[in-house]
Chain A
Amino acid sequence: MIVLGIETTCDETAAALVERFDDGRGRILSNIVLSQTEEHAAFGGVVPEIAARAHVEALDGIIAAAMKQAGVTFKSIDAVAAAAGPGLIGGVMVGLTTAKAISMVSEKPLIGINHLEAHALTARLLNPTPFPYILFLASGGHTQIVAVRGVGDYVRLGTTVDDAIGEAFDKTAKLLGLGYPGGPQVEQEALQGNAARFRLPRPMQGRKEPDFSLSGLKTALRLEAERIAPLNNQDVADLCASFQQAVGDVVIDRLRAGMRVFRERYGAPTALVTAGGVAANQSIRKVLNRVAFEAGTVLVAPPMELCTDNGAMIAWAGCERLVLGLIDTLDVNARARWPLDEVTGVQPTNARS
C-alpha cells in the first residue's frame, strides 16, 4: 500500500509518499520538507501566525512535488494521512483541511494522525522493531518517555513538567547570543568548553517517576552567566559544556527510571527508540547508547531526517493504521492538545457490551 503523509504541526511544511509491503517493511518513495526556520529567526522562536501563513502558501506545491518525485497519482495511492495534532492549531488546520480535500476528491480514506504517534512508530519504517519498546521523544516541543505497546496503544511513562529539552537548548543559546535554533550552536560551543567549570543542578535526580524538569537548570545557568558577565568566548564555551553535561546526566537518570518502570509493567523492551531533534546531539546520543547497553537492549535511532518533523513519519503511521482499518471521517477535527494516551487503536472485541 502507498500512503500520502502531510505534516504541518510546527514550522516544517512537509509531504511524503511511503509504501508498506505485506511483510511489514516500509520504503520511502519521496520525502519533502520545507523548513520555515528563516521566517521565525528574527523572533527567536516559532510564531504561530507566521507558521500558519507559510503553510497555506506552500503546502499544495510541496504535495505536488512529493507526488511527482514518487511517481504516483492521487488515483494510485491508498490513503491520505495528515497530522491532526498536537501542535500549532492554525498550521494543523491547513494540513488537515488539505488532506480532507484530497481524500474527498480522490475517494481515498482519510487518516488523522497524532503527531507524537508518528514519532513513536517511525523506527518501524526502516527497521523491523516489534512491540513493546520504550520511546524517548525529545524535541523543541516535547520531552517524553513512552511505552509503545502496539499501534494505538501508548502509555506515557514520563514527561517534562516545564520546558522541553530542545527548548532549554534554544533558550540557552538565546541567553548566550548564539542565534536560533540554538541546539546545534550550543553543541558546537561545548566542544571547546570545560564541563566541570560550572556547578549546575540535575533536576529530578533519583526520582522514581521518570519525569523531567528543565526550568531550574535553565535558571541556574542564567544566574551563573550573569554572575560572570560580560562573557568572553571561553566563558560561553564553558557554560555550554556545563549545560550539555547536566542535560546528559538528567537524560541518563530519567531514562534509567523509565526503564525500571517499563520493566516492572511490561517486561523487557525490544529496543530503546529515539525520536525528535535532540537525538542529533552527539553527546546525548552517547548517553542513549549507554542507557540501552546497560538495560541489555539496543538503541534504534532513525536517521536524523526522520527524527525531526517530516511527512514520511505521518505517511508511515497512516500505513500502520490503515492496515488495521483505522480510518477517519471528513469531519475529524484538528487538536492543539492531544496526549498520546488518548490515541486509540483497534478496540478489543470483548469490550463490546
Chain B
Amino acid sequence: MRVLAIDTALAVCAVAVLDTERPGMSVRESVPMVRGHAEALMPMIARVMDVANLDFAELDRIAVTTGPGSFTGLRVGIAAARGIALAASRPSVGLSTLAAYAAPQIAKDDTIPVVTAIDARHDQVYIQIFGPGGRTLVPPRVASILDAVRAAAVGPVRIVGSAAGLLAAAWPAGIAAPSLVETHPAPDIDWVARLGAAAAGPVTPKPLYLKAADAQPQDAYGLPRR
C-alpha cells in the first residue's frame, strides 16, 4: 500500500511517502516550524512525491493528522489531504496526533501503559492513555496538568508528546517515576504513514479540536420593548 502522510498539527511541517510493499522505502521531509505551515506544506508535498517518483493517482491513501494541536495548523493539513483526495480521486484517512505519538512505543512494548500529552497552553494538556495491547484507558481529552498527572500516575508508565516533560516535572512524590519521558515537538511522520496504512478503512478526516471555539453566545440584546 502506498501512503502519503501529512502532519501540520503541531510545531513541525512533515510529509512522507511510504510503500508497504517495498520495506525500507520511505521518503520524508520534516521541518520544525511554529508558523508558516500553510506556505511550506504544498511545495514540500510536491518535492517528496517527486523524490518518491509517484503520481498522486498511484497513491492508495492520503493520511493526515487531525489533531489535537494548533487549530489553524490541523486545518491546513486536513484541507490539503482532502483537496488531494478530491482531485486525485484517492481515499483519505485521519489519525490523531495522540495516537501517532504513542504508536512507536506501543509497537516496542505493549504491556506498560503509554501516556501521550500534548501542550494545550494555559497549563493545560491534551491527553490520552493507552493500556496493555494499545487499548485506550483514558480517551482523548483536554485537562489541566494537575488532573492529567492524577490520571496518569497510577503505576509504571511511559510518557510521550510535546508536553511529556511538563507531566514528568509535575509527577507526585511517592509514585514510581515514568520509565520513559520523550518530548518531541511532533509525532514521527513515518508512524503517521504506518498508522494510515494500518487504519481499518478510509474515513474522511475531520478535525479533533477537543476544545470548543472561543465564543460566548450573546445574552438577550436590544433595548426594552413595550
Binds B, one of A127-135, A172-180, A255-263: A172-180
Restricting to B34-87, which residues have a CB under 8 Å from any CB of A? 38-43, 45-46, 56, 71-72, 75-76, 78-87
Alpha-carbon separation in the docked complex, A106 to B56 (Å)? 9
| Cβ contacts B77-112/A at 8 Å (1 or 0 each) | 011111111111000000000000000000000000
* B222 interface hit (Cβ, 8 Å): yes
Restricting to A26-73, which residues have a CB under 8 Å from any CB of B? 42-44, 47, 49-50, 52-53, 56-57, 59-60, 63-64
Known: A60-B82, A90-B75. A174 touches B221 (CB 8 A): yes
Alpha-carbon separation in the docked complex, A330 to B46 (Å)? 9
Binds A, one of B131-139, B173-181, B187-195, B208-216: B208-216
Inside 8 A of B218's CB, which chain A residues have their CB?
Answer: 42-44
Alpha-carbon separation in the docked complex, A95 to B224 (Å)? 42
| Cβ contacts A87-115/B at 8 Å (1 or 0 each) | 00110011111111110111000000000
* A333 interface hit (Cβ, 8 Å): yes
Known: A101-B79, A106-B87. A177 touches B222 (CB 8 A): yes
Q: Is B207 within 8 A of A53, CB to CB?
A: yes
The smallest C-beta distance from A226 to any residue of chain B, in angstroms, reads 7
Interface of B is mostly: helix
Name the contact of A43 in the complex, choosing from B42, B81, B215 (C-beta under 8 A). Answer: B215
Q: Is A101 within 8 A of B43, CB to CB?
A: no
Inside 8 A of B79's CB, which chain A residues have their CB?
Answer: 56, 59, 93-95, 97-98, 101
* A348 interface hit (Cβ, 8 Å): no
Restricting to A148-167, which residues have a CB under 8 Å from any CB of B? none
The smallest C-beta distance from B116 to any residue of chain A, in angstroms, reads 23
* B121 interface hit (Cβ, 8 Å): no
The smallest C-beta distance from A221 to any residue of chain B, in angstroms, reads 11
Interface size on A, residues (CB 8 A): 47
* B217 interface hit (Cβ, 8 Å): yes
Alpha-carbon separation in the docked complex, A106 to B85 (Å)? 11
A179 to chain B: closest residue by CB: B222
Q: Is B224 within 8 A of A230, CB to CB?
A: yes
Alpha-carbon separation in the docked complex, A347 to B217 (Å)? 48
Alpha-carbon separation in the docked complex, A306 to B62 (Å)? 35
Alpha-carbon separation in the docked complex, A97 to B218 (Å)? 32
Known: A44-B218, A106-B87. A101 touches B42 (CB 8 A): yes
Q: Is B38 within 8 A of A333, CB to CB?
A: yes
Inside 8 A of A96's CB, which chain B residues have their CB?
Answer: 38
B218 to chain A: closest residue by CB: A44
Inside 8 A of B45's CB, which chain A residues have their CB?
Answer: 104
Alpha-carbon separation in the docked complex, A236 to B83 (Å)? 48
Q: Is A74 within 8 A of B221, CB to CB?
A: no
Name the contact of A231 in the complex, choosing from B80, B207, B209, B224 (C-beta under 8 A). Answer: B224
Known: A60-B82, A74-B87. A230 touches B225 (CB 8 A): yes
Restricting to A204-247, which residues have a CB under 8 Å from any CB of B? 225-226, 229-232, 236
Inside 8 A of A49's CB, which chain B residues have their CB?
Answer: 71, 213-215
Alpha-carbon separation in the docked complex, A229 to B85 (Å)? 57
* A334 interface hit (Cβ, 8 Å): yes
Inside 8 A of B56's CB, which chain A residues have their CB?
Answer: 104-105
* B200 interface hit (Cβ, 8 Å): no
Q: Is B225 within 8 A of A232, CB to CB?
A: yes
Known: A53-B213, A90-B71, A94-B75. A100 touches B225 (CB 8 A): no
* A294 interface hit (Cβ, 8 Å): no
A59 to chain B: closest residue by CB: B79
Inside 8 A of A334's CB, which chain B residues have their CB?
Answer: 38
Q: Is A177 within 8 A of B223, CB to CB?
A: yes
Known: A93-B72, A106-B87. A177 touches B225 (CB 8 A): yes
B223 to chain A: closest residue by CB: A229
Q: Is B224 within 8 A of A100, CB to CB?
A: no
* A331 interface hit (Cβ, 8 Å): yes
B55 to chain A: closest residue by CB: A105
Known: A49-B215, A97-B38, A331-B42. A175 touches B223 (CB 8 A): yes
Name the contact of A331 in the complex, choosing from B40, B71, B81, B207 (C-beta under 8 A). Answer: B40
Q: Is B223 within 8 A of A231, CB to CB?
A: yes
Alpha-carbon separation in the docked complex, A236 to B218 (Å)? 21
B86 to chain A: closest residue by CB: A60
B75, B207, B226: which has the most chain A beta carbons within 10 Å? B75
Known: A43-B217, A93-B75. A101 touches B84 (CB 8 A): yes
Interface set of A (CB-CB < 8 Å, partner B): 42-44, 47, 49-50, 52-53, 56-57, 59-60, 63-64, 74, 89-90, 93-102, 104-106, 174-178, 225-226, 229-232, 236, 330-334
- Could you name 28 residue pairs across A and B whose Cβ atoms are closer than 8 Å? A42-B217, A53-B75, A53-B207, A56-B75, A57-B206, A59-B79, A74-B87, A89-B72, A93-B38, A93-B79, A98-B80, A98-B82, A99-B83, A100-B42, A101-B79, A101-B80, A102-B86, A105-B56, A105-B83, A174-B221, A174-B222, A176-B223, A229-B224, A230-B225, A230-B226, A331-B39, A331-B42, A331-B43
Interface set of B (CB-CB < 8 Å, partner A): 38-43, 45-46, 56, 71-72, 75-76, 78-88, 206-207, 209, 213-218, 221-226
